[in-house]
Structure 1
């Protein structure tokens, strides 16, 4: 039977990396809000009484896509998926309540990582200006500092990877998504996993949680 897995955790906790591995392990789809929005940019939402008629118009304007629109897109993505690892949703309690109305979850896993460790992870990323390859000064450094292994291009720190931006992202997460964690914890369905362990150890712990 296909698994329905929800992976929660702050920015930098490793949700993306672990979700991809889980999707392969269980033969299910990796569903992220960002991917779902991009895949449905042209979806007609004119009946929702929203400011714009498609999700793409919100994205092009740099505006926050309303919950009602995000909910509809996630519902579509989950309905068409046999099984899934959901990553990046729900971001608030209203979305969590909507999720409980449209699907049943087999496992809710929270990747717990200390703030200082998150800052190190978020600010250490370096991106090649030429080919877009990603590196990390501590966890995945290039062979030669500042130089891309793939094409020899210059590695730069993106604006959204600075410490100031990273702390702002964590602050927004804490305000909006921390109540979601408590919601699942109080419901007795949340499994905490130490996100500071090695990637393989984290993966094994998640698999154990899903299979139990």
Structure 2
């Protein structure tokens, strides 16, 4: 079942993620259905930020030398939200291949910066080693740097994965770039818990797998659901390890914290008419076609399946 925000704040029929002037990009990628133009009604925010420094509030953003790009001259700029383990990375990555835009996960940006040498890398190492959270300023700085380098390479859109996570981050991001659509992936908590507890990592190659075979029967008005395991190849089977934080107690606490933080962010984008809430009906085979349908991209299902 697909669930959208109220009609007063959001309507799929009133979205417009592509226009006629994007025909070249559409021909290069696939034939993408057009939403209406209302989502692009505001073009006041700069697309990329050339410089970044610390700030105290949204009204004190010291951005300069910004580049503005009209929506009709670029591709989609989407955000994927969802609880840890829900599959944001999986679906964001698939859509990035489908639409020809980069999939940007802030966790990857931090890891990439850590692999470099320099003052920021050293600062990040100290933060991570001490178990502290990376500040909003650093995250936005890394994101701004990534968007700028992508613009220099000719990228014309992006899909952000798991960011923003707080109201402050959402406000800062709004001052950095225009977000067209926020897809909030949702999964019932009992299934999400079982899915997280089934995660495994190959200690040799680092591959991610999931041994949970989830079958939930329909009861109390809740639909049934099934998720097949993502099993490792034979050469990885004997080398699987469990993440130290994938315990029931830790996962439940992580989900509680996320839910407390996410509700204001969801309302932030709902009030702007940009939130699409999508209830995952099952695993990838069941959810992927319905997600494409919710995004008016279902015509591409056969081509994407073949590419995958």
TM-score category of the 2 structures, normalised to the smaller one: 0.7 to 0.9
| Aligned-residue offset at 1:89 | 0.8
Shift in CA distance, 80/126, structure 1 to aligned 2, threshold 3 Å: same
**175-184 or 108-117: bigger deviation:** 175-184
Match of 1:65? 134
Write out per-residue CA displacement over residues 165-204 of structure 1, whole angstroms, 9 at most, x where no aligned residue.
1111101211222211121122221111122334244334
TM-score norm. by structure 2 comes to 0.59
Aligned pairs, number: 202
Shift in CA distance, 134/149, structure 1 to aligned 2, threshold 3 Å: farther
- After TM superposition, the structure 1 = structure 2 runs for residues 47-126 of structure 1, keeping only pairs within 5 Å, are 54-81=123-150, 82=155, 83-126=157-200
Write out per-residue CA displacement over residues 54-97 of structure 1, whole angstroms, 9 at most, x where no aligned residue.
32332233321111111111122223332211002101000000
Distance across 2 between alignment mates of 1:149 and 1:134: 14
TM-score norm. by structure 1 comes to 0.83
> Which of 205, 221, 235 is the aligned partner of 1:150?
235
Root mean square deviation, CA, Å: 2.5
Match of 2:14? none
Partner SS state of residue 83, structure 2: coil
CA contact (8 A) 1:107 1:210 kept: no
> Which of 104, 110, 118 is the aligned partner of 1:31?
104
- After TM superposition, the structure 1 = structure 2 runs for residues 15-30 of structure 1, keeping only pairs within 5 Å, are 15-30=88-103
Distance across 2 between alignment mates of 1:43 and 1:201: 45
Structure 1, unaligned stretches of length 5 or more? Answer: 46-51
Moved over 6 A (4+): none
Match of 2:279? 194
- After TM superposition, the structure 1 = structure 2 runs for residues 144-183 of structure 1, keeping only pairs within 5 Å, are 149-183=234-268
Shift in CA distance, 21/96, structure 1 to aligned 2, threshold 3 Å: same
Distance across 1 between alignment mates of 2:254 and 2:264: 16
**103-112 or 122-131: bigger deviation:** 122-131
Distance across 2 between alignment mates of 1:185 and 1:98: 17
> Which of 215, 218, 229 is the aligned partner of 1:140?
229
